[in-house]
Amino acid sequence: MEVNDGAELCFPLLLNTSCKKPPSPGSEALLLNIVLSSVSLLTVALNLLIIISISHFRQLHTPTNILLLSLAVSDFLLGLLLMPGEIIRQTACWFLGDLMCALYNCLSYIITSASVGDMVLISLDRYVAICYPLRYPTRVTERRVKVCVCLCWFFSVFYSVLIVKEDLTQPARFNSCSGECVIVTEYIAGAVDLVLTFIIPITVIIILYMTVFVVAVSQARAMRSHITAVPLQLSVALTRKKSELKAARTLSVVVVVFLMCFCPYYCVSVAGDNLLNNPSATFVFYLFFFNSTLNPLIYALFYRWFRKAVKLVVTLQILQPGSCETNIL
């Protein structure tokens, strides 16, 4: 690699193989880095609140909340590790070494695939809860959900190691100089990843959510047509109708936000590795990551227990003896 005299290098002692340092960030770039770092901290904080709340309060140890806990763990790791790593990779010299670059790439696959797997499990949980409410308590148990979550993470790790095994055994094989972290996915591996972590999950989620929406609407219409003049029946029917329609609307929001955050990344990844390693594509990465910031708001802030749990966590009341038995619902 040829460099001009006086050029700032990532590693000056390696003049023939060192990458040129990125230029000092201007005011706009500095402001962008501050915003991205703030989003990373917000992602960590929000998901940490979910992790503490669900883990601490026994009333929240339900099958659905276990899935939310798993999703929060993956989103927490993304905000804690992947977001800062991407900031370094795009705006500065990669000083963590070639092996850490390969591990960063592997970790991104693990967290992403685990998050997508959690989304599928959550959609299945909502499908059974709304379409088969009488069978839900026996089919979806806490033990079964824990097994599914463990299998989701196990297969995510196994799958990710297979995808990037060559990068782990031969780190920096695509680097042209020291001080950079280039991520390149082979064509076959990229096609497999596109199918397994995007096309199939998206298809399953959309089908399940559309089924849930249709069932919720049909049930609400059926109940409305059979409402009698009895005030109690009227009240129960209206309450149930309102909750079902609200659940349907919430699921629609989940699908739209998920597609908005994930589709651009996979469209760019299909276009080629050169775009993925282009600084101009940084927005696609952070839109992809931003879904982890939105997940706590979508899945948790819609629940009343979250606001109450946050108050107890922030005020450190969870440190009091017996606080885990607090009525949080």
- Angle, CA 83 vertex, CA 314 and CA 263 arms, to 5°: 110
Is residue 195 situated within a structural domain?
no
- Taking residues 87-97, what's their average pLDDT? 81
pLDDT at 305 over 60: yes
Q: With beta carbons less than 8 A apart as the criterion, state whether 205 and 255 touch.
A: yes
Is residue 129 situated within a structural domain?
yes
pLDDT tens digits, 37-68 = 888 999 999 999 999 999 988 888 888 889 98
* Percent share of the chain, pLDDT over 90: 16
Is residue 230 situated within a structural domain?
no
Which range, of 193-202, 235-244, 279-288, averages the lowest pLDDT?
A: 235-244
Say what the pTM is. 0.85
pLDDT at 3 over 50: no
Q: List, in order, residues 6 or more apart from 110 with CB less than 8 Å away.
A: 156, 157, 160
| Count of residues making up the chain | 329
Can you give the pLDDT at residue 276?
Answer: 53
What mean pLDDT, rounded, does the chain reach? 79
Is residue 89 situated within a structural domain?
yes
> What is the biggest distance separating any 2 CA atoms in the chain, rounded to whole angstroms?
89
pLDDT tens digits, 147-170 = 999 999 999 999 999 888 888 888
Domain limits at 109? 32-186+271-324
Can you give the pLDDT at residue 27?
Answer: 66
pLDDT tens digits, 199-253 = 898 889 889 888 887 887 776 666 666 554 445 444 555 555 555 556 556 666 7
Is residue 130 situated within a structural domain?
yes
* Percent share of the chain, pLDDT over 70: 78
Is residue 300 situated within a structural domain?
yes
Can you give the pLDDT at residue 15?
Answer: 57
Q: Kindly report the CATH number assigned to the domain that includes residue 42.
A: 1.20.1070.10
**Domain total for the chain?**
1
Is residue 236 situated within a structural domain?
no
Task: Name which of 105, 102, 90, 100 is nearest 173 in CA terms.
Answer: 102
**What is the residue type of 192?**
V
Can you give the pLDDT at residue 272?
Answer: 55
Is residue 227 situated within a structural domain?
no
User: Please, which pLDDT band fits residue 290 given cuts at 50, 70 and 90?
Assistant: confident
Q: With beta carbons less than 8 A apart as the criterion, state whether 269 and 186 touch.
A: no
